[in-house]
Amino acid sequence: MEFAELNPDLQQWIRGAVQRGQCQSQVMDALLKAGYQTSIARAVEQCMAGHTGPEASAPAASGYVKKPKGDSSAFRLFEPQRNLYDLGERQVEILLAMKQPNIVLFGNLLSDSECEALIEMSRERLKPSRLVNSESGSFDIGEARTSYGTYFDRGANPLIAGIESRIERLLGVPGNRGEPIQVLHYKTNTEYRPHFDFFPPDRPGNQGILAKGGQRVATLIMYLNNVEAGGSTVFPRISLDVLPKKGCGLFFSYANTAGDLDRQTLHGGSPVIAGEKWIATKWLRLGEFKVGDV
């Protein structure tokens, strides 16, 4: 397989790995774990040797609506301008859009194979989910959040890099403003009680986490499986329930550069009544979130 034959996202990931100083065996190990065949070794060799050909151009980005300079709402809004977004390798659908609060439900955001790969990559890494203690700044286990989870640094492997690139092109938000993708597993009778994803700046325990990239401004929840019963994402203040559907993504924003926080985005993961629930979550920050800050 030639390097030029690879899709642009995979080319970008391999180049990045080489630039970070990874040797050929490390790059190959990551590719094989992500499900690629040994035939990709030739493409890796070509990249290591510098024979990668012209830079591939990324597909045109996003329907993200850019506001005039100085408009403090510029970062927080995603206002769909059409029903289907062509991202090259995927056609992402708009299934629901709400302006106040700003909520958008995407269809066909992830493929079945991507969902299944994320689940399998995460099974052996899961640990009890924790909550930020807004008074002390510690990360505590509590009854409000009973899931298990893990996370993957930006560009951790080609699968993660490809999903992150798709999110960046769809939302128009720079990739360096994203926290690592977190995969969460909910068994039967587990839940995440209603909460805010932003960090109230007046609480002493939040100061450390706000120093790492600024305030959270938006959330993207990606549903990795179909749940037998329960497990919806519920917004109690606006009486909205979003049922989990494999491959769909739920985006909502709640903060802007002026420091305004939208408290209508109180939300939770309702108890799983039957079966299990897997999601992947991407949180976006106001500023650059450096890998390793999680």
Using CA of residue 30, residue 37, residue 119, residue 106, what is the dihedral sign?
positive
Listed in sequence order, the residues at least 6 apart from 70 whose beta carbon sits closer than 8 Å to its beta carbon are none
Confidence category of residue 201, pLDDT binned at 50, 70, 90: very high
Would you put residue 21 in left (φ > 0), alpha (ψ -120 to 50) or beta? Answer: left
42 pLDDT more than 90: no
Q: Give the C-alpha distances (Å, rounded to integers) separating 154 from 71, 165, 173, 197, 282.
A: 29, 10, 14, 20, 11
Cα separation, 45 vs 66, whole angstroms: 40
Q: 228: closest CA among 193, 192, 189?
A: 189
User: What pLDDT does 26 receive?
Assistant: 74
41 pLDDT more than 90: no
pLDDT in tens, 49-76: 764 443 333 333 333 333 444 444 556 6
User: What pLDDT does 291 receive?
Assistant: 66
Q: Give the C-alpha distances (Å, rounded to integers) separating 25 from 5, 21, 30, 44, 182.
A: 21, 12, 9, 10, 26
User: What pLDDT does 75 receive?
Assistant: 61
pLDDT in tens, 148-184: 999 999 999 999 999 999 999 999 999 999 999 999 9
Helix (H) or strand (E) holding 230: strand 229-230
User: What pLDDT does 245 receive?
Assistant: 98
Confidence category of residue 290, pLDDT binned at 50, 70, 90: confident
